[in-house]
Amino acid sequence: LPFGTMPLSKLTPEQYEEGVLEGIRLQNQEIDAITKQRSVPTFENTIVALDRSGEILNRSILALSNLENASGDTVIMAVVARVTPILSEHSSNIMLNTQLWERVKQVYDNKDKDISLTPEDKRLIEKTYLGFILSGADLKGSDREKFRRLNSELSELTVKYGQNVSNAMKEPSRRMWLKKSDLTGIPQSVAESYREAARDALEQEGKEDDGDSYLVTVFAPSYQPFMKYSDRRDLREKLYRLFNSRNNGGEFDNTLILRDIANVRLEIAQIMGKKNFAEYQLQNTMAKTPEDVMDFLENLRKAYSEPMKVELKEIEEYARASEGSEFKLAAWDYSYWADRLKNERYAFNDEDMKPYFELNNTIKGVFGLATRLYGYKFKETEKIDKYHPDVKVYEVYEKDGKLLGILYADFFYRDGKSPGAWMTEFRGETKDDNGNKNIPLISIVCNFSKPVGNNPVLLTPYEVETFLHEFGHALHGLSSEAKYASLSGTNVDHDFVELFSQFNENYLTEKEYLDGFAKHYETGKKMPQDLIDRFVKSAQFGAAYACMRQLGFGYLDMAYHTLETPLRASADLEEFEKNAQNPVRCFEAVDGCMTSPSFGHIFSGGYAAGYYGYKWAESLDADAFKAFKETGIFNSKTAAKFRKMLQAGDTVDPMELYVEFRGKKPTVDALMERDGIIK
């Protein structure tokens, strides 16, 4: 097929499973060929051969994982559940293969003697060696088999946890059926989306539509506007509790599973000679140690804690003017009253910006950022197969006309689709020995509301911010110029990978950028500077709260992953979570509501002991964008230096890359300036 893409619309769940199993068989042959050769271990016959093994398997896994999240197909979910323990066993077989480890170790021990090795070659050797170490290759005796068993158990637990999160979102009990009279305060466009959701649900269930049914769910495009705009405090509280208790009990309860995940991770770390899982996990990051992570989080807590209290006090006092002197601001009140205060103080409301962010224009504008910075061109194509009719596919070209990669874009919410937004790939970029490039096949997925009738899709500024964010990840994958798969694209340290996504978000408040596409869908007028200024001020108003909320997730993550004794079966997880978040708590804990059972990032999404990375990368992105502000936001020389980081993947230590770009190490000062904490 064109560019080595896949016939995604034609493949059955059974064929994805066959691809995984056949991929395992082929990679086993490739590993055998490495270990059974008589030649002395070299970089080429061991390290490179290992890096290039498993191509069929990797592509099958990527496609299967992408489809599971983007479709919510229960048959595909069952396939994932079946192959996960097999994949875990296969991975353990490779990393605990004594003959293979001996060859890798021999190449590593002799790397400084081989003058033909490039810096990228040496980086691959070091990363491969560390990967084996972290995977238990140097363990002896019974510890090796215990490590293998624990990894298999962990793999099954994380898949089950993630599937429970997805399934709980779809439960009928996680939605509210309302009448039009219940929607006071809700903008017309949002109300129409609730009406459309009700019609669809009633049709699927074979029920009669009375014409006055509206459906609100815990999915973000439905949940967030309701919490922000609904005048009904009782319904906001009800929806808040539905959202924040969705995996705490019931059929898709994750409380026992997350306890097991934390305990298995602790066992793995202790087998590896570490006190806790964070100490084990952070070896391959910029931060390096749990102490450095907590120092970073604590510095932000100290800087943002008092401004957050001032913000909440202002909002509460503002609300009391309407609700009475006894009113106490609760978690389900924040979005509503903060939005009203911002609207009054800055005459700003998210709805004011939506007419300027019509989806088709916004697609051109977001892609246009890469055109202005790096000269990339995007050409929509119909010749590449896709897994759903909603998906758009683009050929991406460099300014000299050379094909850079393929971008799949899946914008709209569908029933069963995983919540949120993400970037992934169907194939990463690599090069062969002759320098010929295998172009990357990159995908971004969002959950924007679908058009209702002939109405245009208008995005909130925060949805545009999300789009810019995921597009930044996509550019990281598309821009890659690494030779080896394991060093390519977004295969970088967790606390570095978000730099490129969050960097893009800075352009959302730059009129020079917005003028290129943010035009009123009816009048064609450009977004006025006054509206942008009010948006910036309103964003700064909530910055301290937003930071402390993020710190709450970071503290909770570190609490689970700095445990040095297992969580008891009788442990009160609500109390554990409450204690973990107390130093950065914004509101009183709500009985029955927890973050942990649905905290997919750390329990099934690869961010264990790594959630701090969002704020870490935010300090990097603010500092990086300051370089553009100093030289011009589209300065070609600064953009060329930034693009070098995009292209490098993990071929160079990330701090070295950053210092080469910026000329110095980053600080949090630029972040605090952007948030209005430093005036």
DSSP three-state, residue 504 = helix
How many degrees, rounded to 5, is the angle at CA 609 between CA 566 and CA 559?
Answer: 45
Q: What number of other Cβ atoms are within 10 A of residue 352's Cβ?
A: 16
Per-residue pLDDT at 417: 87
Contact between residue 601 and residue 611 where contact means Cβ atoms under 8 Å apart:
yes
Cβ-based neighbour number of residue 114 at 10 Å: 13
Global pTM value:
0.84
Q: Buried b / exposed e across 537-572, counting CB within 10 Å, b at 16+?
A: ebbebbbbbbbbbbbbbbbbbbbbbbbeeebeeeee
Q: CA–CA distance from 488 to each of 56, 188, 426, 428, 656 (Å)?
A: 17, 45, 13, 7, 17
**pLDDT tens for residues 87-99?**
999 999 999 999 9
Give phi and psi for 207, each to the nearest 5.
-105, 155
Residue range 136-156, pLDDT digits in tens: 999 999 999 999 999 999 999
With cut-offs at 50, 70 and 90, classify the pLDDT of residue 672.
very high
Placement of tokens 């990840």 in the chain = 473
**Per-residue pLDDT for 645 more than 80?**
yes
Q: For residues 269 and 280, is the Cβ–Cβ distance under 8 A?
A: yes
Going by C-beta distance under 8 Å and a sequence separation of 6 or more, which residues neighbour residue 180? 191, 212, 214
pLDDT-derived band at 517 (thresholds 50, 70, 90) equals very high
Share of the chain above pLDDT 90, in %: 91
Q: How far apart are CA 655 and CA 651, in angstroms?
A: 12
Check: CB of residue 495 under 8 Å from CB of residue 286: yes
- Give dist(CA 261, CA 380) in Å, integer: 43
pLDDT digits (tens, 9 = 90+) for 158-187: 999 999 999 999 899 999 999 999 999 999
Task: Answer for the pair 313, 329: CB distance below 8 angstroms, yes or no.
Answer: no
Question: DSSP character for 430?
Answer: E
pLDDT at 453 exceeding the cut of 90? no
- Check if the beta carbon of residue 96 is closer than 8 Å to that of residue 456: no
The partner residues of 403 in beta bridges, in order of sequence, read 397
Between helices 461-479 and 359-374, what is the axis angle to 10°?
40
How far, rounded to the nearest angstrom, does the alpha carbon of residue 447 sit from its chain's CA centroid?
A: 13
CA 261, CA 254: separation in Å to the nearest integer? 10
- In angstroms, the Cα distances linking 654 to 284, 451, 620, 665 are 11, 41, 11, 11
Measured distance CA(255)–CA(245) in Å, rounded? 11
pLDDT of residue 596: 97
Q: Please write the tens of the pLDDT for every residue from 597-627.
A: 999 999 998 899 999 999 999 999 999 999 9
Identify the pLDDT of residue 479.
98
Cα–Cα distance between 524 and 356 in angstroms, integer?
A: 9
Residue 263, both tokens: 């305990």
Distance (Å, rounded) from C-alpha 49 to C-alpha 183?
Answer: 61
DSSP 575-636: HHHHHHHGGG-SS---TT--SGGG-HHHHTSS-TTTTTHHHHHHHHHHHHHHHHHHH-TT-H
Q: pLDDT of 386-444, one tens digit each?
A: 999 999 999 999 999 999 999 999 999 988 888 789 999 999 999 999 999 999 999 99
Residue 450 DSSP symbol: P
Q: 277-312: per-residue pLDDT in tens?
A: 999 999 989 999 999 999 999 999 999 999 999 999
Q: Is the pLDDT of residue 191 over 90?
A: yes
User: Per residue in 214-243, pLDDT tens?
Assistant: 999 999 889 999 999 999 999 999 999 999
Whole-number Å distance between alpha carbons of 411 and 359: 10
The per-residue pLDDT of the chain, averaged, comes to: 95
Q: According to the model, what pLDDT value does residue 72 have? A: 81
Q: What amino acid is encoded at 647 in this protein?
A: Q
pLDDT at site 347: 84
Would the pLDDT of 346 be above 90? no
pLDDT at 679 over 80: no
**Rounded average pLDDT over 654-662:** 96
pLDDT above 80 for 474: yes
Give the helix, strand, coil percentages of the chain, each rounded to 5.
Answer: 60, 5, 30
Per residue in 552-604, pLDDT tens? 999 999 999 999 999 998 899 999 999 999 999 999 999 999 999 999 999 99
Beta carbons within 8 Å of 9's beta carbon, 6+ residues apart? 385, 386, 387, 388
Element (H, E) at 67: helix 55-71
Give the residue among 233, 515, 194 at the shortest CA–CA distance from 361: 515
CATH superfamily of 2-138: Endopeptidase. Chain P; domain 1 (1.20.1050.40)
Alpha helix (H) ranges present in 284-358?
Answer: 290-323, 334-346, 350-353
Q: Where are the domains of the chain?
A: 2-138, 172-233, 355-543+614-674
For the record, the structure tokens of 184 come out as: 């006071």
Strands of the sheet containing 403-412, edge to edge, are: 377-380, 392-397, 403-412, 441-448, 422-427
The long-range contacts involving 210-214, CB below 8 angstroms and separated by at least 24 positions, are 212/179, 212/180, 213/177, 213/178, 213/179, 214/177, 214/178, 214/179, 214/180, 214/182, 214/183
Q: How confident is the model at residue 446 (pLDDT cuts 50, 70, 90)?
A: very high
Q: Tell which CATH classification among 1.10.1370.40, 4.10.93.10, 3.40.50.2300, 3.90.320.10 matches the domain 355-543+614-674.
A: 1.10.1370.40
**2-138 and 355-543+614-674: identical CATH topology:** no
